């Protein structure tokens, strides 16, 4: 994949990229996103209110800052490993380009409500990504408590995601970029791409329109070289065959 965005590489837990856990649009009521797997397993993301790619962007900004050498402290809370760090809201603003400071705080709060359940043949794990987020308005510091297992998985079971690219994409393009970065296969069924990337469209025909528009969008940004729709609604993804550039 190729793009001219600044090189801001995050090591991110590969399952988080393969099964994007957030919605592309905000709706009222609780959120439940289910990714069905070929082996009968599921990845289920749930929250008391919708968590979107806009919210996840703020969390990824925190993870980028932590991986850039931020001081951390690991403690046990109710028997759970928690990694505590602090970032300044202006740093998140600098990475995301968002001047909506209250929105940054709210996004990180929403992420504390998100749980992900991984149901595989021999494993079922439910986890929070963020346990707590506290904002000190007088200093601009945000104290964030990340799940320790998730934090370690971002280092030990990681794939690279370029945050400089991710932050400039539309919601569906973000999920596509994340999914395609973690899945090098050349072909995907339409249903799989719709499930991984579009998520919140209310009708199949609308979802197809969004998918094709978003694929065209990441082609224009040189993230992929192109795509073709083959017989049986199989999408062939043409990859960019050069290293990612800054």
Note down pLDDT in tens along the chain; length 246 residues. Answer: 555 456 899 999 999 999 999 999 999 999 999 999 888 899 999 999 999 999 999 999 999 999 988 889 999 877 889 999 999 999 999 999 999 999 999 999 999 999 999 998 888 989 999 999 999 999 999 999 999 999 999 999 999 999 999 999 999 999 999 999 999 999 999 999 999 999 988 899 999 999 999 999 999 999 999 999 999 999 999 998 754 443
Per-residue pLDDT at 212: 97
Per-residue pLDDT at 242: 52
Per-residue pLDDT at 244: 45
Per-residue pLDDT at 180: 97
Per-residue pLDDT at 66: 94
- Helix H, strand E, coil C: the string for 61-97 is HHHHHHHCCCCCEEEEECCEEEEEEEEEHHHHHHHHC
Please list, in sequence order, all residues whose beta carbon lies within 8 angstroms of the beta carbon of residue 43, skipping any fewer than 6 positions away. Answer: 15, 19, 21, 34, 35, 37, 116, 117, 118, 119
How much is the pTM?
0.91
Per-residue pLDDT at 1: 54
Per-residue pLDDT at 245: 41
Please list, in sequence order, all residues whose beta carbon lies within 8 angstroms of the beta carbon of residue 20, skipping any fewer than 6 positions away. Answer: 53, 174, 175, 178, 179, 196, 197, 199
Domain ranges in the chain are 9-238
Per-residue pLDDT at 184: 92
Per-residue pLDDT at 38: 83
Phi, psi of 238 (to 5 degrees): -95, 115
**What is the token pair recorded at 53?**
């790619």
**What is the token pair recorded at 214?**
């978003």
């Amino acid at each position: 994949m190729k793009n001219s965005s600044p090189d801001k590489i995050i090591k991110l837990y590969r399952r988080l990229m393969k099964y994007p856990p957030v919605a592309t649009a905000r709706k009222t009521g609780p959120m439940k996103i289910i990714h069905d797997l070929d082996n009968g397993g599921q990845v289920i993301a749930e929250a008391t209110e919708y968590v979107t790619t806009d919210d996840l962007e703020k969390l990824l900004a925190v993870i980028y800052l932590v991986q850039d050498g931020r001081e951390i402290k690991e403690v046990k809370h109710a028997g759970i490993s928690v990694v505590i760090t602090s970032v300044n809201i202006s740093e998140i603003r600098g990475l995301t380009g968002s001047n909506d400071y209250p929105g940054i705080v709210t996004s990180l709060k929403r992420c504390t409500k998100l749980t992900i359940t991984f149901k595989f043949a021999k494993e079922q794990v439910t986890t929070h990504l963020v346990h707590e987020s506290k904002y000190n308005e007088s200093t601009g510091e945000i104290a964030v408590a990340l799940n320790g297992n998730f934090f370690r998985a971002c280092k030990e079971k990681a794939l690279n995601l370029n945050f400089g690219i991710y932050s400039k994409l539309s919601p569906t393009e973000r999920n596509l970029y994340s999914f395609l970065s973690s899945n090098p296969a050349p072909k995907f069924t339409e249903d799989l791409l719709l499930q991984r990337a579009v998520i919140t469209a209310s009708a199949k025909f609308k979802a197809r329109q969004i998918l094709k528009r978003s694929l065209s969008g990441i082609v224009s940004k040189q993230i992929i070289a192109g795509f073709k729709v083959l017989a049986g609604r199989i999408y062939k993804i043409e990859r960019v065959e050069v290293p990612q550039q800054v």
